[in-house]
Amino acid sequence: MVSIALLTTEHVSLHLDPLRTALSLVVDPIRYLVDLPSETAGRINYSIRSYSSLRDENKGLRETQLANQIRLLKYEALEKENIRLRALLENSYKLGEQVLIAELLSVNITPPYENIVVANKGTRFGVHPQQAVVDTNGIVGQVLRALPNSSEIMLITDPNHAIPVQVNRNGLLTIAVGTGELNRLKLPFLPDNADIRPGDLLITSGLGGTFPQGYPVAVVDAFDLPAGKQVTATPKAALDRNRELMIVWSNTKPITLSPDPLQSPEPKPEPAKTPAPLVIKDNANEQ
Amino acid sequence: MNNNYGFGQIIMTLILAMCLKIVPLPDMFALVNPDWVLLTLIYWALAIPDRVGIFHAWTFGLLTDVLTGRLIGQYALAYSLVIYLCLSLHRRLRQFPFVQQALFIFFCLLLSQLLLFFIKNIHSTAELKPTFWLPVLVGTLCWPLVYTVLRFVRLAKSIK
Confidence of residue B9 (pLDDT cuts 50, 70, 90): confident
Contact list in B for residue A16 (CB cut-off 8 A) is 72
**Beta strand extents in chain A (DSSP E only):** 97-105, 116-119, 132-134, 139-146, 151-155, 162-167, 173-178, 185-187, 201-204, 216-220, 231-235, 244-250, 281-283
Instruction: Give the bridge partners for A178, in sequence order.
Output: A185
Residue pair B102/B143 in contact by the 8 Å Cβ criterion: yes
More confident residue, A100 or A253: A100
Q: Is the pLDDT of residue A78 over 60?
A: yes
Residue B141 has pLDDT above 60, yes or no: yes
Nearest residue in A to B68, CA atom? A109
Q: Is B5 exposed, middle or buried (0-12, 13-18, 19+ CB in 10 A)?
A: exposed
pLDDT at A38 over 70: yes
* Among the partner residues A34, A110, A112, nearest to B19 by beta-carbon distance: A34
* Domains of chain B in sequence order: 7-156 (1.10.1760)
Top pLDDT among B88 and A263 is at B88
Q: Angle CA(A61)–CA(A249)–CA(A77) in degrees, nearest 5?
A: 60
The C-alpha of A262 sits at a distance from chain B's nearest C-alpha, in angstroms, of 46
Better-scored residue on pLDDT, A24 or A162: A162
A264 or A185: which carries more pLDDT confidence?
A185
Nearest Cα of chain A lies from the Cα of B124 at a distance, in angstroms, of 8
Cβ B80–A31 below 8 Å, yes or no? Answer: no
Q: Which residue in A has a C-alpha nearest to residue B117's C-alpha?
A: A111
The per-residue pLDDT for range B50-97, each reduced to its tens digit, is 888 888 888 888 888 888 877 777 888 888 889 988 888 888 888 888
- pLDDT of A280 reads 40
Measured CA to CA, the distance from residue A72 to residue B39 in angstroms comes to: 56
Convert the pLDDT of each residue in A139-175 to its tens digit. Answer: 889 998 888 888 888 889 888 889 999 998 888 899 9
pLDDT tens digits, residue range A204-250?
888 887 888 888 899 988 877 665 567 889 988 887 777 788 888 87
- In the structure, what pLDDT confidence band is assigned to residue A94 with cuts at 50, 70 and 90? low
Confidence of residue A59 (pLDDT cuts 50, 70, 90): very high
pLDDT > 70 in chain B, percent: 92
Kindly report the nearest CA distance between residue B95 and chain A, in angstroms. Answer: 31
Residues in A touching B125 (Cβ below 8 Å): 160
Give the pLDDT of residue A287: 36
Chain A residues near any Cβ of chain B (below 8 Å): 1-7, 10-11, 16, 19-20, 23-24, 26-27, 30-31, 33-34, 38, 106-113, 116, 118, 144-145, 147, 152, 159-160
Distance CA A29, CA A40 (A): 16
Mean pLDDT, range A4-12, rounded to an integer: 64
What is the band of A282 on the pLDDT scale with cuts at 50, 70, 90? very low
A93: which strand partners?
A255
Position A65 scores a pLDDT of 92
Share of chain A above pLDDT 90, in %: 6
For residue B124, give the chain A residue with the closest CA. A160
Among A24, A26, A27, the strongest candidate for a mutation testing the B interface, having the largest count of B CBs within 10 A, is A27
Q: Is the pLDDT of residue A93 over 80?
A: no
- Residue closest to A275 by CA, chosen among A21, A98, A120: A98
B66/A111 touch (CB, cutoff 8 Å), yes or no: no
Non-local CB neighbours of B115 within 8 Å, separated by 6+ positions: B74, B77, B78, B81
The proportion of chain B whose per-residue pLDDT surpasses 90, expressed as a percent, equals: 5
Tell me which of A148 and A49 has the higher pLDDT.
Answer: A148
List residues in chain B touching A: CB distance below 8 A: 15, 18-19, 22-25, 27, 30-31, 58, 61-63, 65-69, 71-74, 76-77, 80, 119, 122-125, 127, 129, 131
Bridge partner list, A100: A247
Least-confidence region, from A26-35, A47-56, A222-231, A261-270? A261-270
Percent of chain A at pLDDT exceeding 70: 74
pLDDT at A81: 83
The complex's ipTM?
0.74
Kind plus residue range of the DSSP H or E element containing A25: helix A17-47
Higher-confidence position of A282 and A101: A101
Average of per-residue pLDDT values in chain A: 76
pLDDT at residue B126 above 80? no
